[in-house]
């Protein structure tokens, strides 16, 4: 106590000394400095005129607000209406595939974030879809006051599995998510539940995460029970190699329950749409890695990012195959996998070029009594994409993406995307 008073006295003495020397800024700063010594965490007394202007009255506590505007033009050589991935059963009404042809608006995303009180922070991301519907992409509260590397999240959020899953669409390096995400995670896995993360007290970054959720979306589905329909475990680690390189790698497991989940696939021979319903458990393992390079760690001029993920999905339970109300129920077990590898190079400020290659492996599927109707050909869907983007500023991006999509056996879809993505309002900080 006495020591701290002494420190304060010394500090005041020092300030007086500086003021006597007549340096103008010292005098101006005397007020905030005084605030510092008596109540060190007080806001700076010399508030800028801007803060005063924007902050008057009730609006002063408005959350940080941001809006993403995106849209573009899509050209495909195959009709996107019949999009499917041969040998992979996608959920009915999936958003997989290149989307609509021609000009279209993409998702507009409205983001709100603020501290709730000294212990909690709240975030909401509302997606306004081009078909005039609205969805809640994320709406969660998160602790800011737990110590020892712990943080707890509750609400609706994007799962922390893998690398790409928790990233919002406007931060992706390509127009679309990889095929493996489309086939095994319904493009991107978000759920209602809780997430606990713990950062180990080591110099090496080691983070454990555990999630429990409802399991509301593919590969889960609403099961109408009291327990959790989804659980996830994540482990990520990373670090630096010298000044110029840094990396992160991780292993995650997502387990989800589904009941009467509507699936759509295409008849291997004729291209007819087959509807079926799956009840059972899905396990998705994700192995992810990202490596970044920038000369001396200064990414402003040139930088390179190499990123890859491997996903393996195991589904076991029963499948109801329903041609003309026949309702043929049988045991079902599948083990499928997929991967992508991509590199993004910023060759000069504001310009990027990127290449992505990906492949899916239909693996083994045991349909029991439905074998005859559903067994596929063992075709391995693949896709290659080439991307250029130009960023007039940190807040705007124009992108051209060319892709050769071989998701459908025997058909090669040549795709061209032109896209813009703009960010208005609060300057969002991006995660690694």
Which of 75, 77, 227, 240 is the binder for another protein (CB under 8 A)? 240
User: Could you say which DSSP state residue 287 is in?
Assistant: E
Any contact of residue 349 with another protein (CB under 8 A)? yes
418 Cβ neighbours under 8 A, 6+ residues apart? 72, 73, 74, 398, 399, 400
Q: Interaction with another protein in 276-315: which residues (CB under 8 A)?
A: 292, 296-301
Q: Interaction with another protein in 141-180: which residues (CB under 8 A)?
A: 142, 144-151
Which of 93, 201, 224, 410 is the binder for another protein (CB under 8 A)? 201
Any contact of residue 253 with another protein (CB under 8 A)? no
User: Could you say which DSSP state residue 58 is in?
Assistant: G
Any contact of residue 50 with another protein (CB under 8 A)? yes
Residue closer to another protein by CB (options 183, 294) is 294
Q: Give the binding-site size for another protein (rule: CB under 8 A).
A: 83
Residue 87 contacts residue 376 (beta carbons within 8 Å): yes
Number of residues in the chain: 432
- Three-class DSSP category at 385: strand
48 Cβ neighbours under 8 A, 6+ residues apart? none
Any contact of residue 238 with another protein (CB under 8 A)? yes
Residue closer to another protein by CB (options 7, 369) is 7
Residue closer to another protein by CB (options 41, 58) is 41
Q: H helices within 195-343, ranges in order? A: none
For residues 233 and 247, give the distance between their C-alpha atoms in angstroms, rounded to a whole number: 20
Q: At what angle do helices 2-20 and 24-38 cross, to 10 degrees?
A: 170
Residue 297 contacts residue 244 (beta carbons within 8 Å): yes
Q: Interaction with another protein in 30-49: which residues (CB under 8 A)?
A: 32-33, 36-37, 40-41, 43-44, 46, 48-49
CB of 375 to another protein, least distance (A): 44
Any contact of residue 205 with another protein (CB under 8 A)? yes
Any contact of residue 269 with another protein (CB under 8 A)? no
Q: Interaction with another protein in 99-118: which residues (CB under 8 A)?
A: 118
Any contact of residue 63 with another protein (CB under 8 A)? no
Q: Interaction with another protein in 356-395: which residues (CB under 8 A)?
A: 393-395
Exposure of 109 in the CB half-sphere (CA atoms within 13 A):
21
């Amino acid at each position: 106590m006495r020591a701290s008073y002494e420190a304060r006295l010394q500090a005041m003495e020092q300030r007086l000394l500086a003021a006597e020397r007549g340096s103008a800024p010292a005098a101006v700063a005397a007020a905030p400095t005084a605030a510092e010594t008596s109540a060190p965490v007080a806001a700076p007394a010399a508030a800028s005129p801007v803060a005063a202007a924007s902050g008057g009255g009730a609006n002063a506590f408005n959350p940080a607000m941001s809006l993403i505007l995106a849209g573009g033009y899509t050209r495909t050589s195959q009709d996107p209406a019949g999009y499917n991935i041969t040998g992979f059963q996608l959920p009915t009404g999936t958003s997989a595939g290149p989307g609509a042809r021609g000009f279209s608006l993409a998702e507009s995303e409205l983001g709100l974030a603020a501290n709730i009180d000294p212990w909690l922070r709240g975030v909401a991301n509302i997606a306004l879809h081009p078909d005039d519907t609205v969805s809640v992409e994320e709406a969660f509260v998160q602790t800011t006051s737990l110590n020892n590397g712990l943080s707890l999240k509750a609400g609706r959020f994007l799962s922390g599995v893998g690398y790409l899953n928790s990233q919002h669409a406007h931060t992706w390096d390509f127009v679309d998510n990889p095929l493996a995400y489309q086939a095994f995670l319904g493009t991107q896995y978000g759920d209602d539940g809780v997430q606990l993360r713990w950062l180990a007290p080591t110099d090496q970054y080691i983070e454990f995460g555990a999630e429990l959720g409802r399991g509301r979306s593919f590969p889960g589905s609403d099961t109408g029970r009291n327990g959790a329909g989804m659980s996830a475990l994540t482990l990520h680690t990373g670090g630096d190699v010298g000044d110029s390189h840094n990396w992160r790698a991780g292993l995650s497991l997502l387990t989800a329950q589904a009941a009467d989940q509507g699936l759509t696939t295409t008849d291997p021979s004729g291209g007819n749409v087959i509807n079926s319903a799956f009840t059972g458990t899905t396990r998705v393992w994700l192995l992810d890695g990202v490596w970044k390079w920038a000369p001396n760690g200064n990414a402003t001029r040139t930088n390179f990012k190499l990123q890859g993920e491997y996903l393996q999905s195991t589904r076991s339970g029963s499948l109801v195959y329903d041609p003309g109300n026949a309702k043929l129920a049988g045991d079902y077990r599948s083990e499928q996998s997929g991967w992508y590898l991509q590199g993004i190079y910023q060759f000069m400020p504001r310009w990027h070029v990127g290449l992505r290659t990906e492949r899916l492996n239909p693996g083994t599927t045991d349909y029991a009594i439905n074998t005859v109707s559903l067994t596929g050909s063992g075709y391995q869907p693949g896709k290659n994409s080439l991307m250029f983007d130009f960023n007039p500023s940190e807040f705007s991006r124009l992108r051209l993406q060319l892709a050769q999509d071989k998701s459908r056996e025997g058909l090669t879809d040549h795709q061209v995307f032109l896209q813009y993505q703009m960010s208005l309002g609060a300057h969002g900080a991006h995660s690694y």
